[in-house]
Structure formats: C-alpha cells, structure tokens
Amino acid sequence: MLSRVNFIGVIVLAGLMAPGCGGGSTPERPAATAKADGPGSITGKVTFDGEPPGRTVIRMGADPNCRPHEPVKVGNVTGAMSDALIVGSDRAIKDVFVYVKDGLGNRVYATPTTPVVLDQNGCQYEPHVFGVQVGQPVEIKNSDMTLHNVHAIPKSNSEFNFGQNNEKAPAVTKTFDKPEIGLSFRCDVHGWMRAYANVVTHPFFAVTKADGTFEIKGLPTGTYTIEAWHERLGTQTMMVTIADGAPSATAAFTFKPEAEGAREPGSRRPH
C-alpha cells in the first residue's frame, strides 16, 4: 500500500510534468538610468514588543526521507523548528524584509543576471525570505531525497506549480515581471514548507539577520519611505532622509505580537 506522502506524490507528479510553464517569460525592461552607487546607507534593527514567543515544532514524520539539519523532539513529535517567526532572546526578529517603498522617482536600475537560488533542503525552503528584482532569475532546486512540488501563489504575478522528484531533478529557473511583496511559495506534498519572495524594481532591500539588523547601501540623496514586512507580524513604514552632509541614516522597527491562533500547518508549540 502506498504511504500517504507517496500517494500524494503520484498525484502531484501526474499534474506537474511540465516545470517550464508559467512565470517564465518577462517583458523587456527599460534601459537602466541609474546605478546603486550613491553615498547613502540605512542601517537599523527590527525588534519584538513583548516576551519572545517560542518557535513551533514542525512534524515531519509522515515522510521518512525528510531529514532536517537540526532535528528536534518534543514528546512524541520529531521534526524541525519552524522559520515562520524567529525572535531571539534580545527580541531581535530574523527574516524581516526591509526595502525602499517610495522615493526613487523614475530611476530605472539594471536587472541582475545572477540568479537568486531557492533550495529545498531538509524539507524546508532555504532561504525562507528573500528579495529579488523584477526580471531577475530565481533558480529553484531540490537537495532532498524526496519529491517536492514548488507552488508559487502570487497576487500580481503568474502562478506556477511544478514537481522536482528528488536531488537528481534539474534546477528550474523562473522570473517575476511585476513588483510584489510577500509572494508565497509552498510545497503541496509537505504542507509546512513555506518561503516568501519579495519582488522589487531596484536593489535597495535587505533581510534581517538573526540579530535583527539590516543594511541598505548605495542610495542617492533624497527622502524615502522604508517598509519592513514580516509574514506573520505585518508591515511598518517610516521616513528616512539621505542628505549630502548626512549620508548615513538609521531606521528602527518594533512589531507587536501576532494575532492569537496564527500558526502554520503541521506545527505545534513545544511545552
């Protein structure tokens, strides 16, 4: 008898044998009119307002080929720690996307040709949150010895959904042709797997590190709206000015706890 995961895998593969369809064609962008070589930089930190919440444990037992890099066990549950909300002991928040939302005017920046790599490793997406420019390639690969399907669920861009059978499957390259924040990726075989692409038209963005810090460099002088986005905690904005005599600016964001009950599928709180 087929296991539940293998049975789902058969269904997924039956419908996903054409990985090149959808999300792959990008209209030609206007020629670049600016470079990211300005004098300005913005540094800052994102923190949590309140007692740091414990991370949830993702249960992976349904697929024996899911081998997390740092396995944990809580009671009878074996799996990995969720990446959905990571708050350090000093209340620093990891994986917040911070970017220039407004203020660049009609400047056009060159589209990078170097791909952003999105891996499926240990039955989790790596990286969990990332930024990419419109038209920049995203190379998606599977490093696991099990079937994954990559299901992008955008609001502004084209949806796509394809399978990668195991670590021998070829990488698939996709692009996005419209700006979009919080574009969700999931795996329909392993319901806990989530990643978020943030598609912008310029290179002025960053993802917070484990200590909650970020840095955005190369900005021209001007006044900008900076937005911080988190998958659970929402968004915050603030105004920042880069001046000739003061090219370095700081930005600090503090998020309040998420709504009660907001939790990803297949997870539980450790006790």
Phi and psi torsions of 192, nearest 5°: -80, -15
Domains of the chain plus CATH, in order, are 4-17+34-50+88-257 (2.60.40.420)
Any idea what DSSP says for residue 55? P
The pLDDT tens digits for 166-212 are 999 999 999 999 999 999 999 999 999 999 999 999 999 999 999 99
The average confidence (pLDDT) of the chain is 88
The pLDDT tens digits for 33-53 are 999 999 999 999 999 999 988
**DSSP of 131-146, one letter per residue?**
EEETT--EEEEE-SSS
User: Rounded to whole angstroms, how far apart are CA atoms 15 and 251?
Assistant: 46
pTM for this model (two decimals): 0.86
Question: CB of 165 within 8 A of CB of 150?
Answer: no
Q: How confident is the model at residue 9 (pLDDT cuts 50, 70, 90)?
A: very low
Q: What's the pLDDT at 25?
A: 52
21: pLDDT strictly greater than 60 = no
Q: How far apart are the first and last CA of the chain?
A: 35
User: Rounded to whole angstroms, how far apart are CA atoms 237 and 248?
Assistant: 18
Widest Cα–Cα separation across the chain: 71
